[in-house]
Amino acid sequence: MSPSSSEQKTHVWLRDEDRSTERRTALTPKNAQKLIENGFAVTVEKSSKRVCPNADYEAVGCTLAEPRSWVNAPKETVILGLKELAETPERLPHRMIHFAHIYKDQTGWEKEMARFVNGEGLLYDIEFLTNENGRRVAAFGYWAGWMGAALGAFRLLERRAGRNEITKGVSPFESQEVIIEQLKALAAEVDGDLPTAIVIGAKGRSGTGASQCLEAIGMKVTKWDIEETRLLDRKALLSHDLMVNCVLMFGPGLLLANKTHLADAECNMKVISDVSCDPFSDFNPLPIYDAPTSWEEPVIEVARNGAGDAVEVTSIDNLPSLLPAQAAEEFSDQFITSLLKFDEGIEWQNAKAKFEQIRKRADL
């Protein structure tokens, strides 16, 4: 039901992503239409990379605007995006919704918080939009895990087949089915058993996606979660060929492996896909690399294992953008329920409380 004309409509402004490889969106045209039907005003910045065409937003009643014109939007406008912002403007006066990656001591977190505080704005970090049970209301976790496992398996299987293609770069795939076909074809190039894999955090969204991807191509998957990592059997962990880490750390306490462990004589590990991808955090359970990998350079060597084979890491921090259409549609369908309640739902209260907690910690 739409609000009466006397009520102030919330104006949601979907910004173009600053990151050139980010093709996903938090708001599809279908769900933008739901906002409009419920009394919201919706502006959408034109984008040449967003997976949803500009014309589809215009067709459902959105107002189109130029990229980055949000910086001049009225202060009461709510700015919606996905990934972190460019370094300008220095002051952020709006209420903003996106994944900022600054709440776990990541490099530059205090500077980023200062942009909001000095501009008198507010960040609703999507990662901390949680319900009364502490569960996130919307997440890309399944797709991140699925795609991270796919890239790890791709690199491992092509090495097994004597190939070296993925190191030349990656770009978005058409569908899950296409990826599975490619992986099965790679696996079939070499006779014998497939390499072994272990998924850490297997019970979560990301871990579920990772396990299902690997099992779809016929790999044997060991699944570990809190119970198995509480008293870590590192020898068993490193006996696998592939590790997919899906553990999201909010504090210290878990070390999966460092470079010394990887160099141990009994280590068999060859490829690590770090889906959680938090190298800038003090809580990183894989302190073996210092920056995410990229679409241009998706894999880096970090060590040599006990047999002298390379141990490589893939750690792309926007994995679901490699399957942008499927990932965006599922996320937006999860997220629209919360957007329709902005900013009164418990998830918005929780995200605001988290912002205030971090602001006080930064002494701002």
Distance CA 134, CA 40 (A): 27
Q: What token pair was written down for 138?
A: 């919307």
The CA distance from 6 to 262, in Å, is 64
| Closest among 247, 251, 245, 244 to 282, alpha carbons compared | 251
CA nearest to 166, candidates 297, 275, 274, 273: 297
Residue 43 has what DSSP assignment?
E
Name every residue whose Cβ is closer than 8 Å to that of residue 47 and which is 6 or more positions away in sequence: 16, 17, 54, 67
Helix (H) / strand (E) containing 41: strand 41-45
| Burial per residue of 71-95, b for 16 or more beta-carbon CB atoms within 10 angstroms, e otherwise | eebeeebbbbbbbbbeeeeeebbbb
12 phi and psi angles, rounded to 5 deg: -95, 130
Give the residue numbers annotated as catalytic, written as ranges.
Answer: 83, 101
- Give the residues across from 197 on adjacent strands: 221, 242
Write out 128-187 in H/E/C secondary structure: HCECCCCCECCCCHHHHHHHHHHHHHHHHHHHHCCCCCHHHCCCCCCCHHHHHHHHHHHH
Closest by CA to 315, choosing from 147, 184, 72, 108, is 147
Residue 31: which of 344, 330, 246, 342 has the closest Cα? 330
Say which residues have a Cβ less than 8 Å from residue 5's Cβ, sequence separation at least 6: none
**327 and 138 Cβ atoms separated by less than 8 Å:** no
